[in-house]
Structure 1
Amino acid sequence: MEKVESISLFNKYIRETKILELFSNDMSDKMDLFYFKKGDILINEGECSDYLFFLVNGRMKVFSHSSSGKVMFVSHFKSLQILGETCSLWRKTPTATVQATTNGYCIGISLTKHRELLFNDIKFLRYTCMNLGERLSYMNSNTCITMFDSLESRLASFILNNSTDNIFHYNLTECAELLCTSYRHLLRVLNTFCNNNKLNKTGKYYKIIDKDYFIEIASSSYDVNSSI
Structure 2
Amino acid sequence: MKNNHEDSSTTSPLQTIRALQSNKKLTNVHVKDFERGTFITHLAKPNNNLYILLKGSAKIYKHHENGKRAILHFIQEGEYIGELGLLSVETQTKDVVAQRQCSCLVIPFESNKDVLMNDILFLKSLSTYLAQKLLSRTDRLSEELNYPLIKRFSRFILTTEHENLYEEKHVEVAEYLNVSYRHLLYTLQQLCAKGIVVKEGSNYRILNRKQLMKLADYF
TM-score range, shorter chain: 0.7 to 0.9
> For residues 80 and 117 of structure 1, do their structure 2 counterparts lie closer, same or farther at Cα, with a shift above 3 Å needed?
same
> For residues 172 and 49 of structure 1, do their structure 2 counterparts lie closer, same or farther at Cα, with a shift above 3 Å needed?
closer
Instruction: Specify the alignment match of 1:170 in structure 2.
Output: 166
Instruction: Specify the alignment match of 2:8 in structure 1.
Output: none
Question: Could you tell me whether the CA contact under 8 Å between 1:36 and 1:103 is conserved in 2?
Answer: yes
> For residues 172 and 60 of structure 1, do their structure 2 counterparts lie closer, same or farther at Cα, with a shift above 3 Å needed?
closer
RMSD: 3.1
Find 1:127's aligned residue among 113, 125, 128: 125
TM-score computed with the length of structure 1 as normaliser = 0.72
Instruction: Specify the alignment match of 2:70 in structure 1.
Output: 72
C-alpha distance in 2 between matches for 1:65 and 1:146: 22
Instruction: Specify the alignment match of 1:61 in structure 2.
Output: 59
SS in 2 for 1:79: coil
The residue type equivalent to 2:144 in the other structure is T
Moved more, 25-34 or 109-118: 25-34
Instruction: Specify the alignment match of 1:83 in structure 2.
Output: 81
> For residues 210 and 99 of structure 1, do their structure 2 counterparts lie closer, same or farther at Cα, with a shift above 3 Å needed?
closer
> For residues 68 and 51 of structure 1, do their structure 2 counterparts lie closer, same or farther at Cα, with a shift above 3 Å needed?
same
Instruction: Specify the alignment match of 1:44 in structure 2.
Output: 42
* Post-superposition offset of 1:41: 1.5
Q: Which runs of 5+ in 2 are unaligned?
A: 1-13
Pair 1:206-2:205 in alignment: yes
Question: Could you tell me whether the CA contact under 8 Å between 2:26 and 2:112 is conserved in 1?
Answer: no
C-alpha distance in 2 between matches for 1:96 and 1:210: 33
Q: Which runs of 5+ in 1 are unaligned?
A: 1-16, 222-228
* Post-superposition offset of 1:88: 3.0
> For residues 202 and 43 of structure 1, do their structure 2 counterparts lie closer, same or farther at Cα, with a shift above 3 Å needed?
closer
SS in 2 for 1:90: coil
Question: Could you tell me whether the CA contact under 8 Å between 1:42 and 1:100 is conserved in 2?
Answer: yes
Instruction: Specify the alignment match of 2:9 in structure 1.
Output: none
The residue type equivalent to 1:157 in the other structure is R
Question: Could you tell me whether the CA contact under 8 Å between 1:59 and 1:104 is conserved in 2?
Answer: yes
> For residues 211 and 57 of structure 1, do their structure 2 counterparts lie closer, same or farther at Cα, with a shift above 3 Å needed?
closer
| Aligned counterparts, 1:1-228, within 5 A | 18=15, 19-21=17-19, 25-27=23-25, 29-45=27-43, 47-90=45-88, 92-94=90-92, 96-161=94-159, 168-173=164-169, 176=173, 178-181=176-179, 185-195=183-193, 197-199=194-196, 201=198, 203-204=200-201, 205-209=204-208, 211-212=210-211, 214-218=212-216
C-alpha distance in 1 between matches for 2:138 and 2:89: 25
The residue type equivalent to 2:205 in the other structure is Y
Moved more, 107-116 or 176-185: 176-185
SS in 2 for 1:201: strand
> For residues 100 and 183 of structure 1, do their structure 2 counterparts lie closer, same or farther at Cα, with a shift above 3 Å needed?
farther
C-alpha distance in 2 between matches for 1:163 and 1:92: 30
C-alpha distance in 1 between matches for 2:160 and 2:63: 26
